[in-house]
Amino acid sequence: MRRLRQGDTVALIAPSGPPDPLLLARGRHVLGGLGLNVVVAARALSRRRYLAGPDFARAADLQEAWCDPAVQAIVCVRGGYGATRLLDLLDWDAMAAAEPKPLVGSSDVTALHQALSIRLGVPSMFGPMAACQALGGPDGPEPHTFAHFRGSLFEGAAARPIPGTAVLVPGQASGPVIGGNLSLLAALCGTPYALRAEGRIVLLEDVTEAPYRIDRMVTQLLQAGCLQGAAGIALGSWVDCGDPLPILAELLTPLEIPVIAGLPLGHGSPQFSVWLGADGAIDTESCSLAGTLRDRETAS
């Protein structure tokens, strides 16, 4: 999968909730300022209750953008809910036959990251979305978020490892980075898209979830075997979640693998980007997560 270049075409899609039109317009302008040709999918501004239009329409926008050789990357406009409803509607054979390309998004888009990894074995980028405050806010993009986003898309890696703030379990770990939003990963348990952590570094983050709910979801992942064999755990932001670190430490320490916390990945600001499915490394001496997208067709 190649990195982006100026002049490439980026498609904006809404696989989950409907975007705010003003935020979307600002985000599109920011991406255009990177020298990209930005197109908005035909149905991206549709609305059906809490969804950005009917399931078939959202799935069609994703598949058309993925299979279109004129599109070099796909950026989701926002999260919310609805991505899981698309997974059985996509023609995975057709998508496998197409040239792989970056898909960018976070929160509810975790479901698409999991599906792309399991179905196609391709990396994707967990990062800010087009119609979010981090890129499309009234004062322009948040500077650290934007710099990290640009470097991840055009260079395949950050200028330096992503720093955390706390070490829960010391050590070093390497392996592909997977995971994302905890609520989505728990919801995918028992499906073909469930988390498979063997030999991998698992990213976990969430928003507006009380510590007891975080306890319940991590316990679900543990009891389902989703974290079995994990190489390490990287904990991102927990915005409006109280203080979940004591319960996370209690649940994850028995795994006897490196665990770092406080990475700016998820719903907070700044919101850094990380390539899921690409090589990563945890270093608890520097309390950081490094990740690199190599110039190759696929990563798993």
| Active-site annotation, residues | 107, 205, 267
* 106 vs 128: CA distance, rounded Å: 7
Are the C-beta atoms of 216 and 276 separated by less than 8 Å?
no
- Judge contact between 201 and 236, C-beta under 8 A: no
Angle, in degrees to the nearest 10, between helices 245-252 and 211-223: 20
Residue keyed to tokens 């985000």: 27
Burial 4-42 (b: 16+ CB within 10 A, else e): beeebbbbbbbbbbbbbeebbebbbebbeebebebbbbe
Q: What span, in angstroms and rounded, lies between the C-alpha atoms of 230 and 197?
A: 5
Spatial distance between the Cα atoms of 177 and 175, rounded to a whole number of angstroms:
6
Amino acid 45 reads L
Residue 130: closest CA among 185, 194, 73 = 73
